[in-house]
Structure 1
Amino acid sequence: MILVDTRQRRATRTVLASKRDRFRAREPDMIAYSREAPRPVDALTSVLTASVVDFREVGLLVSAYHGLLRDKVRCSTELIDMCAQLVVAAGAFGAKLSGSGHGGCLFALVPGDAVTSVLRSLADLPVHTIVLPEGEPNGLTVNGPSAE
């Protein structure tokens, strides 16, 4: 897994309040999201609890959920969407924004043999990446510029 920090900051409280207000106003996309969101969550639960996990399927479901958040909730950003597209094109199984959206982070499910190409796909963007290696007993590997 690779975490991508877009360094785009926002006020989470404001973002969540806006979503809540849109839902209370019965905005059609928010209502559609509330109806559609359980399906990929249930499908993901099913795939992840199978005796053998199909990580390609996990990636497809994660990306589909990102699409719901992008299209219905409209909480993605151009940079997050660009990162998601680039990492999938570079070999990630899937990618999705994390948190409340409108900036911040996304994660990508990446097979070990695609980590280098995925990191290269983001090299020219103003992002920081964190690789969560499979089975790494000592924690995280941080890539990108150090905090100034």
Structure 2
Amino acid sequence: MSSAPDHTLCFLLNDAARLLRKRFEQKARSFGLTRSQWQALAYLSRNEGVSQGALAELLDIEAITLGRIIDRLEVQQLVERRPHERDRRIWRLYLRDAARPLLEAIKPIAEETRQEAFAGVPEADRETLMRALDAMRLNLIDASAAPARDRERA
């Protein structure tokens, strides 16, 4: 593989992810939600009851940005904030019933987008890519935790 700037690991990962998001957004436009709103709903569906701050961290966005996204989703009656049982400063987030059919309806679009991305890529290469990316993800999680562990030991 060439070492040209457009063939570095970070560039390829970022560009592929950007193009996947762009294509998904093109296909899902008719639902009237932004990519950020879809992403918030998708993460929330796997983490119901999460605090707004924790969801912002999962999405890797600022809490204030997520706050605006959640405000819009609340207006559309797709998400609700509930107060934390013991801390009035914390809001827990939950899907409303209206969000669930939307999330089901979007699954075929997400699958079509994945199939477009993998067109012409043999199944064995797909599996190798997924294993390699998962290993990289786990390595980076571990490496990111190492400085905190080192500080705790000191």
TM-score of the superposition, structure 2-length normalised?
0.28
Structure 1 or 2: more helix by fraction: 2
Structure 1 or 2: more strand by fraction: 1
Higher RCO (Cα < 8 Å, 6 or more apart) = 1
TM-score of the superposition, structure 1-length normalised?
0.29
Q: Tell which structure's C-alpha radius of gyration is larger.
A: 2
